[in-house]
Structures are given as structure tokens and as C-alpha cells.
Amino acid sequence: MQHIVIFASGTGSNAENIIRYFKNNNTKSVVAVFSNHSDAKVVEKAKNLSVETVVFTKEELSNGVVLSKLQAFQPDLIVLAGFLWMFPTRIIQHFPSKIINIHPALLPKYGGKGMYGNHVHQAVLEQKETETGITIHYVNEQYDEGKIIFQKAVSITDCTTFEDIAQKVHQLEQEYFPKVIDQLL
């Protein structure tokens, strides 16, 4: 069995979708969801789907506690799905080419610190872009700069609010993120 571990900070719609996608898979499984917020929706969702949850502090992420808890799950792939803290070097070095992130735009545009969730869609709207999309990439020590694995674009010429854009990006995430994870494994 190949083990997937998800890191998420918020709503967890991607986490939930990934857990459901692999639910009846005999060779790949989501074994844990790690979150930095005990009251995040993602924690509740994971529990409802019978997936183990681990809640941790910023200190535990950097001092090795999270690394040792991660090692216990023997992850084949670590998936950041709306996880908003920088990943520490010690974890990145421990799992080379095994940590991926999804970003709700076409990197290298609209990436970097502070560019997450609706901030990204707002910026895309303000720049009057005609398309946006999703990027799935390996995680390195710089925000949103690791090697790109997959991108998918969508036209947003019919979008007038950032919510419209968010909805289109969300649809792409739901459709492609689990499939890319499946293929990577």
C-alpha cells in the first residue's frame, strides 16, 4: 500500500476530494491529514471520513516533532492542499521529490508569500487576465518555486468577480489534483 499524507489549513475541499478519490483503492490510501488548526474544517472532514488527523503548532513544524510524526506514517507522497505555512528545510530534505503543492494560478504568475486563496483570484481579476488555472509543483525552500509537474488553464473572460474565478479554479482542482497524485504514485 502506498501512503498519502495531506497537509491543509482550512476548508479542506481538496483534501476531502482526494480522500474520497482513493477511498476504495487497493494500492493507494490517504493515511493522515496534518493541520495547523484544530478547528479547521479539514480536520472535521477527515475525521468524518475515518482518516487520522494530526494537529500541530508552528514550533512543532520546525523543531522536528512534525517530522517524526510524519515518518511514523511512512509517506510515499506528501500533499499540500491549501497549507499556508512555509515547509521547513528539514522536512523537505528528508523527503526529496515526495512533497507537492497545489497553487490556484498559473505559476510563476501570482505566486509567492501572501499569494493564497482569494488573494490570488483578486489579483488575477485586477490585472484583467483572460485566463487563469492551477499549478501542481514540487515543494522546495522558496514559496511556489519548485519544479512544475502539471498546469491546466481556463478562460475567465466571462468572470466579473473573484468568486467567479475561484469557482472555475476550484473545478479544475477537483478534477485534476487526485488524478495527478494517482499518476505520480
Residues that bind ligand GAR (CB under 6 A): 8, 10-15, 81-82, 102-104, 116-117, 120, 173
3-class SS of residue 13: helix
Active site residue 103: yes
Contact 184, 77 (CB under 8 A): yes
Comparison of 1 and 23: residue with beta carbon closer to ligand GAR: 23
For ligand GAR, the nearest residue by Cβ is: 82
Residues paired with residue 155 on neighbouring β-strands, in sequence order: 131
Q: Least distance in Å: CB of 112 to ligand GAR? A: 9
Distance CA 78, CA 101 (A): 9
Residue 158 DSSP class:
T
Plot region of 69 (φ>0 → left; ψ -120 to 50 → alpha; else → beta): alpha
Comparison of 67 and 139: residue with beta carbon closer to ligand GAR: 139
Catalytic: which of 3, 103, 119, 137?
Answer: 103
Q: Least distance in Å: CB of 39 to ligand GAR? A: 14
Q: Catalytic residue positions?
A: 103
